Amino acid sequence: MFKTLQNKTVLVTGGAGFIGSNLCEALLNIGSTVVCLDNFATGHKKNIAPFLSLKNFKLIEGDIRDLKTCQEACLGVDFVLHQAALGSVPRSIEDPVTSNDVNISGFLNMLVAARDNDVKRFVYAASSSTYGDSESLPKVEEVIGKPLSPYAITKYVNELYADNFKRTYDLDTIGLRYFNVFGRRQDPNGAYAAVIPKFVIQFMNYESPTINGDGTFSRDFTYIDNVVQMNLLAITTENDEALNTVYNTAVGDRTTITSMAEDLRNFLSEYDSKIAEVAIKHGPNRKGDIPHSLASIEKAKKKLNYNPSHTFKAGLKEAVSWYWEHLQNS
Ligand code: NAD
């Protein structure tokens, strides 16, 4: 599968991050030439360390807020997988200006650079946060609400710009609205760590993780392999009708935060039985959080032939096994 990518050059921005490094790895396995642009704001050298010696891998250490850097990165590139951004709703609430600079101005720079270098297709990380205060479930791409955070605004503006670059400059784009992605290499550390890796490291240290709220909020937690599949489908699809739109990138199933935490504790207890005794705590609800999130994946199935390989539990089991192997001494 994806053989057409064998002699293609793909630029992965944010390639040293969680999702980006998994995309770099998948593309290198296929035989593509990969250019990784990253400023290591939240990504890590260790995520791409095994690729640095490969002759079909090139690292550009630079910032998407600099148009010249984006232009240089897009030289001779067939496809762009744009992942670089400052993630996290709370981060954007604390510092909306920097999130706006990176996620909107940086995004615009990348679109301009892709346009100027005749990139064939620009696939970008959009977000389920764009559904905002819409209460309808499951989330279908065409029905969105008002954004609940500066981060959500940035991701929605990305979609507006992408749509406009098709209309104005005929640049083909696809936006992938990721729903709570998790899996190998997701950073468990830092103030803005995502809930799954944060809870993993806490359980491993016998510390009680704290659920924001009563734990009944639910998420369509999506394993990284499903996200990689969507990105590869998006750059290879030959269906013209699949282009210049956005897709939910999810499993189409939801799990409450309580149930996720309990599954995590059960899986980790298979490695260390003492973890089964670690209690789960509760704190106040967090600003900007959507109560429930469940995607319809019908559009991606129909137009891109998407077929998620991992359910939430199958993904969680693999993620736990990876963290157990890699985080033992942290
Ligand atoms: P991540 O923080 O691991 O990766 C982001 C990468 O972008 C990092 O390597 C970081 O160093 C790089 N970066 C940040 N600012 C940059 C800049 N100015 N110039 C160059 N590089 C820069 O996060 P992730 O979870 O892998 O997220 C990847 C993308 O997916 C982001 O656009 C994020 O908003 C989006 N997304 C993620 C999720 C999720 O659940 N993880 C959900 C929805 C959307």
Q: Can you say how many angstroms the Cα of residue 4 is from the centroid of all Cα atoms in its chain?
A: 24
- Closest atom, ligand 1, to C-alpha of 155: 34
Give residue 289's pLDDT band: very low, low, confident or very high (50, 70, 90): confident
**Per residue in 131-185, pLDDT tens?**
999 999 999 999 999 999 999 999 999 999 999 999 999 999 999 999 999 999 9
**Per residue in 300-311, pLDDT tens?**
999 999 999 999
| Residue nearest (by alpha carbon) to ligand 1 atom 34 | 87
Q: Which two tokens stand for residue 286?
A: 């967090």
pLDDT for 324 equals: 96
pLDDT for 36 equals: 98
Does residue 32 contact residue 56 with C-beta atoms inside 8 Å?
Answer: yes
For 261: left if phi > 0, alpha if psi spans -120 to 50, otherwise beta; the answer is alpha
Ligand 1 contact via 195 beta carbon (within 6 Å): no
Average pLDDT taken over every residue of the chain:
96
**Per residue in 112-136, pLDDT tens?**
999 999 999 999 999 999 999 999 9
pTM over 0.85: yes
pLDDT for 288 equals: 67
100, 132, 155, 161, 192 from 151: Cα distances, Å: 8, 11, 6, 16, 13
17-27: average pLDDT: 98
Ordered domains of the chain (ranges, CATH): 3-183+223-252+296-309 (3.40.50.720)
- The catalytic residue among 124, 151, 156, 247 is 151
Give residue 223's pLDDT band: very low, low, confident or very high (50, 70, 90): very high
Does residue 2 contact residue 31 with C-beta atoms inside 8 Å?
Answer: no
What is the b/e burial string over 143-169, where b = at least 16 CB atoms within 10 angstroms of the residue's CB?
A: ebeebbbbbbbbbbbbbebbeebeeee
pLDDT surpassing 90 at residue 1: no
pLDDT for 161 equals: 98
- Does 306 participate in catalysis according to the annotation? no
- Closest atom, ligand 1, to C-alpha of 179: 42
30-53: average pLDDT: 98
pLDDT surpassing 80 at residue 329: no
Instruction: Give the distance (Å) from ligand 1 centre to CA of residue 273.
Output: 34
Ligand 1 contact via 14 beta carbon (within 6 Å): yes
How buried is 271 (Cβ within 10 angstroms: 0-12 exposed, 13-18 middle, 19+ buried)? middle
90, 126, 245 from 122: Cα distances, Å: 28, 12, 11
Give residue 330's pLDDT band: very low, low, confident or very high (50, 70, 90): low
- Closest atom, ligand 1, to C-alpha of 102: 18
Residue 34's H or E segment, with its range, is strand 33-38
Which of 11, 12, 19, 61 for a ligand 1 pocket mutation test, highest count of atoms within 8 Å of Cβ?
A: 19
pLDDT for 155 equals: 98
Which of 18, 95, 122, 130 for a ligand 1 pocket mutation test, highest count of atoms within 8 Å of Cβ?
A: 18
- Closest atom, ligand 1, to C-alpha of 15: 9
Instruction: Give the distance (Å) from ligand 1 centre to CA of residue 182.
Output: 13
